[in-house]
């Protein structure tokens, strides 16, 4: 921020009793004096406005894109088959013969943040259907949930998906958030894994 200064122009010249006469005009008249005072006040108003703008700018923090990386440790959702973790910390089928598996990760993004994208990284070598979804559910209704981002995963994937506009501001007082990974119709021997799940968001 540039330097802000104020230099008054009005200089009071003391009147002397019984010598100076009250007058509107002239070098020492009221008009000249009040005109100088008015100009000083106008300049002071400009300076105060500049100070106000500077203080507001100093108190604001630019929004920054941040990343929330989730370990793919999916909680089982009975009666569905569960995801397991291999020795590398990667989510895989517990058995290569499991055609369908499902799991859930609770998510706690910062309250008030704006969610941008859901991203899933991994591999799905077969024709099975693998989907990773970000949900929010109202605290007042445990049975209701709505998907606010969804990624369909096939091949060697690094798949992002935008979070639904209008549902992207985190409201922890109203909603809980979680990610699910669901596989269906996988064939025996298909390589299916999820290496990482990430959420990007902006927060001041």
Cis ω for the linkage preceding 79 (within 30 of 0): yes
Same-domain pairing of 39 and 81: no
Same-domain pairing of 196 and 174: yes
Q: What is the pLDDT along the chain (204 residues), one digit of tens a residue?
A: 567 777 777 777 776 777 767 766 767 666 777 777 788 777 878 878 877 777 776 666 667 899 999 999 999 998 999 999 999 999 999 998 999 999 999 999 999 999 999 999 999 999 999 999 999 999 999 888 999 999 999 999 999 999 999 999 999 999 999 999 999 999 998 999 999 999 999 986
Q: Which domain holds residue 51?
A: 1-60
The pair of structure tokens assigned to 99 is: 């055609």
Same-domain pairing of 30 and 79: no
Same-domain pairing of 34 and 81: no
Same-domain pairing of 49 and 135: no
Would you state the pLDDT for residue 165? 96
Would the pTM of this model clear 0.85, i.e. be above it? no
Same-domain pairing of 51 and 79: no
Same-domain pairing of 98 and 130: yes
Query: Which helix (H) or strand (E) covers residue 40, if one does?
Result: helix 30-59
Same-domain pairing of 28 and 45: yes
Same-domain pairing of 179 and 193: yes
Which CATH number fits the domain that encloses residue 94? 2.60.120
Same-domain pairing of 41 and 102: no
The CA distance from 181 to 101, in Å, is 8
Listed residues 12, 37, 60: the one ending a domain: 60
Same-domain pairing of 137 and 95: yes
The CA distance from 195 to 132, in Å, is 12
Listed residues 32, 60, 88: the one ending a domain: 60
- Number of neighbouring beta carbons within 10 Å of residue 149: 23
Residues ≥6 apart with Cβ < 8 Å to 20? 28
Would you state the pLDDT for residue 54? 72
The answer to whether 201 touches 134, Cβ cutoff 8 Å, is no
Look at the chain and report how many structural domains it folds into. Answer: 2
The CA distance from 170 to 102, in Å, is 25
């Amino acid at each position: 921020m540039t330097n802000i200064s104020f230099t008054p122009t009005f200089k009071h010249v003391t009147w002397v009793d019984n010598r100076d006469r009250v007058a509107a005009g002239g070098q020492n008249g009221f008009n000249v004096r009040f005109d100088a005072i008015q100009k000083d006040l106008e300049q002071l108003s400009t300076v105060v406005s500049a100070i106000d703008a500077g203080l507001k700018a100093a108190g604001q923090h630019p929004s920054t894109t941040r990343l929330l990386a989730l370990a793919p440790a999916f909680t089982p959702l009975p009666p569905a088959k569960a995801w397991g973790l291999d020795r590398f910390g990667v989510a895989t089928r517990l058995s290569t013969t499991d055609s369908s598996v499902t799991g859930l990760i609770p998510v706690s993004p910062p309250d008030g943040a704006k969610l941008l994208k859901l991203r899933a990284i991994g591999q799905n070598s077969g024709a099975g259907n693998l989907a990773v979804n970000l949900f929010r559910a109202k605290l007042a209704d445990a049975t209701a949930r709505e998907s606010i981002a969804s990624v369909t995963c096939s091949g060697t994937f690094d798949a992002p998906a935008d979070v639904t506009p209008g549902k992207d501001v985190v409201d922890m007082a109203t909603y809980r958030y979680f990610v699910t990974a669901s596989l269906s119709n996988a064939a025996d021997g298909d390589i299916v894994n999820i290496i990482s799940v990430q959420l990007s968001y902006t927060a001041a």
